[in-house]
């Protein structure tokens, strides 16, 4: 009786395994390409990656299905892939997920032919003409190539390699492969999301100054650079400005297939546009081709008030200086990012080009980088140096009051060659613990290291500033 029960349990166990193995091998294979795409959306971040959401229509039977998903980015992060059916959470379950992609070259092709027949041909000179010799062998190994030609085995044989066909399993384009268990027979809309690298955006600003009215017009463009390895057709674009933290990549061996086993479908990655970043949704869908840099109109504003300033920025040292230092004033413009001033929207990081004149006769006044500016913040742009406003600075005296205690005097002669008076800021950077014991003009201590003088220079004239400072280092 005990022996019968053991055999009965054994029989049932074997039947279960056989049934499972049969079910695992009996599945239908379907392919989804870009032709099945209903919509695609990109959320592009300004640190060179994007979240792709790709929706495609298909008709699925019930049961086990091998679903091949073509036309995905070559720079995809396989571990970020997630898919779901819009028919409901229980429509199907992903049992396995694979990413398959092999770059077609001599090595990958030879690797796929290990254990198969291939031909080597070479031409040999016989008399006045070449004759072609062809040998067929079985490839045993690569790097170096080891080939069995019947009764002889050769290492790195000479000749041109010929192959009759591309073998199965050689994926020349990135392909996602799922083994799914489908519960919802019929038409379904599938949404696949993944992260792709090598796609980025940046803002480029153009400012046209009207110096007479101290106003400017601002136009900006978004430059999207797509190096991800695929075209995005009629894509809905959302741009995210902000520093998104990303974990370092996990090192993997140099294999051609990345494979993941999953018990159930993972949740789709969702962007959080209202988190700690700013998002900009472009109003219309657009095509972004692979290896294309496309510009799209962005933020515009007119009659924005600005202020132009001139400044000199110098530094004192704890040693005696004999040389005369000549410099020209830095020219800067500044403005407030407020609604009252015609702006009042978050300004992402980007390059700013500032022009003077009219649209028919433009002069480049300077370029600078604008850091990301939130609503209400002020913006300052450095345009270059003023040709007509200069300074001559020299150290007039220096003495040591102790090992780490000095006293130094300076003279700064400011020149204005313009036909109008100008105000300049002279910012002196002092070291250590300092105090001013004498000054020709009243300066202001901006912070622990900066002494600032605000000086008005008459037209076609000059002004001279003198001061003495004691510093304990």
Pairing of strands 37-45, 232-241: parallel
Note the pLDDT of residue 104.
67
**Rg of the chain, C-alpha, whole Å:** 36
Q: Rounded to whole angstroms, how far apart are CA atoms 405 and 65?
A: 82
- Per the domain annotation, does 35 fall within a domain? yes
Q: Rounded to whole angstroms, how far apart are CA atoms 60 and 49?
A: 32
Q: Rounded to whole angstroms, how far apart are CA atoms 127 and 134?
A: 19
Note the pLDDT of residue 249.
59
Looking at the structure, tell me whether residues 251 and 275 fall in a common domain. yes
- Per the domain annotation, does 341 fall within a domain? no
Kindly report, residue by residue over 334-353, the tens digit of the pLDDT.
999 999 999 988 898 899 99
Looking at the structure, tell me whether residues 319 and 451 fall in a common domain. yes
Looking at the structure, tell me whether residues 126 and 272 fall in a common domain. no
Looking at the structure, tell me whether residues 276 and 403 fall in a common domain. no
Note the pLDDT of residue 256.
39
Q: Which of 393, 388, 398 lies closest to 325, judged by CA?
A: 393
Looking at the structure, tell me whether residues 56 and 181 fall in a common domain. yes
Looking at the structure, tell me whether residues 280 and 410 fall in a common domain. no
According to DSSP, residue 291 is labeled T
Distances (CA, A) of 299 to 221, 344, 346: 7, 11, 10
On the CB side of 265, how many CA atoms lie within 13 Å of its CA?
Answer: 24
Q: Rounded to whole angstroms, how far apart are CA atoms 45 and 52?
A: 11
How confident is the prediction along the chain (473 residues), in pLDDT tens digits per residue?
A: 343 444 444 434 333 444 444 444 567 889 999 999 999 999 999 889 999 999 999 999 999 999 999 999 999 999 899 999 888 777 888 999 988 877 667 887 888 889 989 899 988 887 788 888 888 999 999 988 999 998 899 998 988 898 887 776 666 788 899 999 998 889 999 999 999 999 999 999 999 998 787 899 999 999 999 999 999 999 999 998 877 777 765 544 333 344 434 333 333 222 233 356 778 888 889 999 999 999 998 889 999 999 999 999 998 888 888 889 999 999 999 999 999 999 988 898 899 999 998 767 889 999 999 988 888 999 999 999 999 999 999 999 999 999 899 999 999 999 999 999 999 999 999 999 999 999 999 999 999 999 999 999 999 999 999 999 999 98
Distances (CA, A) of 41 to 235, 286, 465: 5, 10, 61
Looking at the structure, tell me whether residues 130 and 69 fall in a common domain. no
Which residue is associated with the tokens 């110096």?
A: 211
Note the pLDDT of residue 7.
43
Number of helices (H), then strands (E), belonging to the chain: the values are 2, 31
- Per the domain annotation, does 4 fall within a domain? yes
- Per the domain annotation, does 463 fall within a domain? yes
Ramachandran category for residue 186: left, alpha or beta (phi over 0 → left; psi -120 to 50 → alpha): left
* Residue range(s) defining the domain that contains residue 151: 106-162
Q: Rounded to whole angstroms, how far apart are CA atoms 117 and 132?
A: 19
- Token code pair at residue 130: 């070449």
Q: Rounded to whole angstroms, how far apart are CA atoms 92 and 308?
A: 64
């Amino acid at each position: 009786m005990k022996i019968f029960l053991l055999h009965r349990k054994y029989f049932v166990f074997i039947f279960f395994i056989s049934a499972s193995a049969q079910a695992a091998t009996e599945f239908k294979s379907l392919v989804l390409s870009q032709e099945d795409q209903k919509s695609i959306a990109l959320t592009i971040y300004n640190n060179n990656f994007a979240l792709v959401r790709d929706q495609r229509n298909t008709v699925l039977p019930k049961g086990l299905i091998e679903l091949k998903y073509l036309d995905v980015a070559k720079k995809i992060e396989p571990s970020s892939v997630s898919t779901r059916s819009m028919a409901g959470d229980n429509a199907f379950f992903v049992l396995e997920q694979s990413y398959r992609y092999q770059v077609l070259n001599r090595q990958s092709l030879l690797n796929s032919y290990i254990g198969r027949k291939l031909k080597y041909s070479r031409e040999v000179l016989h008399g006045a003409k070449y004759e072609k010799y062809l040998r067929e062998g079985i490839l045993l190994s690569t790097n170096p190539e080891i080939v069995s030609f019947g009764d002889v085995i050769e290492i790195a044989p000479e000749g041109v390699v010929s192959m009759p066909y591309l073998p199965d399993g050689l994926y020349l384009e990135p392909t996602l492969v799922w083994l799914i268990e489908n519960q919802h027979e019929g038409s379904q809309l599938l949404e696949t999301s993944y992260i792709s690298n090598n796609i980025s955006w940046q803002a480029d600003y153009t400012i046209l100054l009207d110096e007479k009215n101290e106003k400017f017009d601002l136009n900006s463009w978004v430059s999207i650079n797509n190096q991800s390895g695929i075209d995005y057709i009629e894509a809905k674009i959302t741009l995210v400005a902000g520093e998104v933290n990303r974990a370092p990549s996990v090192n993997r061996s140099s294999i051609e297939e990345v494979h993941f086993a999953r018990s159930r479908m993972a949740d789709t990655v969702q962007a959080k546009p209202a988190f700690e970043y700013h998002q900009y949704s472009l109003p219309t869908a657009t095509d972004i081709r692979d290896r294309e840099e496309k510009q799209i109109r962005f933020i515009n504003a007119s009659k924005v008030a600005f202020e132009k300033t001139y400044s000199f920025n110098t530094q004192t040292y704890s040693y005696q200086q004999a040389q005369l230092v000549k410099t020209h004033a830095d020219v800067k413009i500044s403005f407030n990012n407020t609604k009252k001033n015609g702006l009042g929207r978050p300004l992402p990081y980007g390059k700013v080009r500032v022009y003077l004149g009219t649209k028919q006769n433009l002069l480049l006044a300077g370029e600078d980088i604008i850091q990301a500016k939130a609503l209400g913040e002020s913006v300052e742009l450095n345009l270059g140096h003023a040709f007509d406003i200069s300074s001559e600075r020299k150290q007039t005296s220096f003495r040591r009051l102790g090992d780490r205690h000095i006293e130094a005097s300076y003279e700064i002669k400011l020149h204005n060659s313009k036909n109008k008076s100008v105000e300049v800021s002279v910012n002196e950077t002092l070291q250590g613990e300092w105090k001013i014991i004498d000054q020709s003009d009243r300066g202001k201590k901006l912070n622990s290291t900066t002494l600032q003088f605000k000086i008005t220079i008459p037209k076609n004239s000059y002004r001279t500033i003198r001061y003495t400072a004691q510093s304990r280092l």
